[in-house]
Amino acid sequence: MKLRAFLSLFIVTLLFCANASTSFAHTDKSRGYSNLNIKGKTIDYELFLDQIDMLEQFDTNKDKYLDNEELSSQKERIESVLQKDLRIDVDSKPLTMEMLSMELAEKGSTIGVIFKLRITADEAIEQFNLHYNLMFEDAPLHTNVLLVHSGDYFYQNILDTKKKDVQITIAQPESESVLWKYFVLGIEHILTGFDHMLFLLSLVLIASRFKDALKIVTAFTIGHSITLFLVATDRIQVSSHWVEVFIALTICYVAVENIFVQKVKWRWLLTAIFGLIHGMGFAGALTEIGLPKSNLIGTLLSFNLGVETGQFMVLCLLLPLLNWLRRFPWYRKMMISASCLIFVLAFYWLLQRLQ
């Protein structure tokens, strides 16, 4: 019976890690970003597409990678695809779109192409329709995070095969609605951030008492809140590439420590230091979204509160389960097995992020 329970937990952990690995590596689904900044008659559109989605059409030498030479040599063809499958209409009239630049870039740990587009109307834009049909033919599970800014106005949506068209009306938002959206974004970020989730799991696996787990999580919260505010308000500048690398390293370290250490007396201090690194990662997510200038502090607080809420939701499910499992004599073996799996996955992420 004990062996069966142990194997079941082992399989569950393996499935969790496999799911996280798949999501991170984008082997079956990918995510793009559409960041629209509207000023009067002009829309500055920054479009990011995962290179994986573009290989089928634009990888001319079939080496499974894109380079800037390949992009430059196919500029007209790429523009034609954008003009065909990406359109913004005002009063059913397509607006003129110009491609200012395109180049390989990295968003988080994903290599892709950033297109800078400029869309122009005859008069100030107050309402428009966006039609997005890029990449779906070659990557049906592709999604695109849509972010629209116009002064203090902020709009967010997810584009996929079921939602290719959206209508957007620019209006002065109530501050409460903006704060709520950033609160929800904070929850979404922690729940879909598999590296942060795995780090949390690693931290509390070894805690034998609820008091220890609470101290660890509080230290993590303090640490990541400090750097989230510093980076998001441009008090300090960091490289998102190296932040992602160090986040993977923190997971590797904690997983190894779980295997060899049985007490967590000082883990809260280590967690506070590692929290500083994860806070830079949270700030990177906010940089991608953008922040309204009129209520910067309030928006940051809302996003951070959303992160804490998402974290609290996970821990409310995780801690009672771990406390119950600690009653069994095989818990230590299960914890070591889980930590080994976590280390392997985090080390894989580390190698991917160093490329």
Spell out, as residue ranges, where the chain has pLDDT lower than 50. Answer: 1-28
- Report the pLDDT value the prediction gives residue 318, as an integer from 0 to 100: 86
For position 252, what pLDDT does the model report? 93
55 and 64 in contact (C-beta within 8 Å)?
yes
Q: Could you identify the residue written with the tokens 């580390």?
A: 350
* Strand order across the beta sheet in which 165-169 lies: 93-94, 86-90, 127-132, 165-169
E-strand spans in the chain? 31-39, 42-50, 86-90, 93-94, 96-107, 110-120, 127-132, 143-150, 153-159, 165-169
Q: Characterise 64 by phi-psi region: left (phi > 0), alpha (psi -120 to 50), beta (else).
A: left
Judge whether 60 and 67 are in contact, CB under 8 Å.
Answer: no
292 in Cβ contact with 179 (< 8 Å) = no
Give me the pLDDT at residue 290, please. Answer: 65
Question: Does pTM surpass 0.85?
Answer: no
DSSP reduced 3-state for 291: coil
pLDDT digits over 235-289, tens only? 888 887 788 899 999 999 999 998 888 776 778 888 999 999 999 988 877 776 6
pLDDT tens sequence across 145-181: 888 888 777 787 888 888 899 998 887 655 556 678 7
Q: What is the pLDDT of residue 25?
A: 36
H, E, C per residue of 147-172: EEEECCEEEEEEEECCECEEEEECCC
pLDDT of residue 1: 44
pLDDT at 332: 87
37: amino acid identity, one letter: N
What is the structure's pLDDT at 136?
84
What local confidence, expressed as pLDDT, does residue 282 receive? 85
